[in-house]
């Protein structure tokens, strides 16, 4: 069984989203279906079909979140080893060609958010950096081609 490793913050956010979908999300979809049903012939009722499709999408999302929560393991960041790049560590890297430096935090797919510089450990860059130590290089195939990054620093 594959585990999903999350921070406490990520776990709490997913649990809250799941609770919201199961309560008010389901109530809203049920209300939409009831309103559409009241409008008559269901075989030609596009509103009813759309509401039923929305219900299916909601249940799919709930199912996906339940699977993540069932396999979730919360990692304590204070116990993390920073001798090499691992899940939940932050890493400062330098693009060997451009000299540009960036710092990213490696997180699970469900917590990834490029705007806050949180990248998935299963992304090409995340996979390429895992296990690297300061001073080592990672050659990573990106949409722009092969890019080499030097690991400068690893921290929590």
- For the record, the structure tokens of 49 come out as 């079909």
Rounded to whole angstroms, how far apart are CA atoms 126 and 94? Answer: 14
Options 1.10.10.10, 3.10.50.30, 3.40.50.970, 2.60.40.10; CATH for 77-155 is: 3.10.50.30
Domain boundaries, the chain: 4-74, 77-155
In the chain, % of residues over pLDDT 90: 67
Q: CATH second-level architecture of 4-74? A: Orthogonal Bundle (1.10)
When pLDDT is averaged across residues 90-95 and rounded to a whole number, the result is 96
Output the average pLDDT for the chain. Answer: 91
Please give the pLDDT value at position 46: 86
Angle, CA 67 vertex, CA 27 and CA 142 arms, to 5°: 110
Express each pLDDT in 126-153 by its tens digit. 999 999 999 999 999 988 899 999 999 9
Express each pLDDT in 52-92 by its tens digit. 999 999 999 999 999 989 998 888 877 778 899 998 899 99
Rounded to whole angstroms, how far apart are CA atoms 86 and 14? Answer: 22
Does residue 5 contact residue 69 with C-beta atoms inside 8 Å? no
pTM of the full predicted structure? Answer: 0.67
């Amino acid at each position: 069984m594959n585990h999903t490793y999350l921070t406490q913050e990520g776990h709490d956010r997913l649990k809250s989203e799941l609770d919201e979908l199961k309560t008010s999300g389901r109530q809203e979809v049920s209300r939409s279906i009831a309103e559409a049903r009241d409008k008559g012939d269901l075989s030609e009722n596009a509103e009813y079909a759309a509401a039923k499709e929305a219900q299916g999408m909601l249940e799919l999302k709930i199912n996906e979140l339940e699977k993540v929560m069932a396999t979730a393991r919360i990692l304590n960041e204070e116990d993390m080893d920073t001798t090499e790049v691992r899940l939940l560590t932050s890493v400062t890297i330098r693009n060997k060609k451009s000299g540009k430096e960036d710092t990213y935090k490696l997180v699970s797919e469900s917590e990834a958010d490029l705007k806050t510089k949180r990248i998935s450990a299963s992304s090409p860059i995340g996979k390429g950096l895992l296990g690297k130590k300061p001073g080592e290089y990672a050659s990573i195939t990106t949409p722009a081609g092969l890019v080499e990054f030097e690991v400068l620093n690893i921290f929590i």
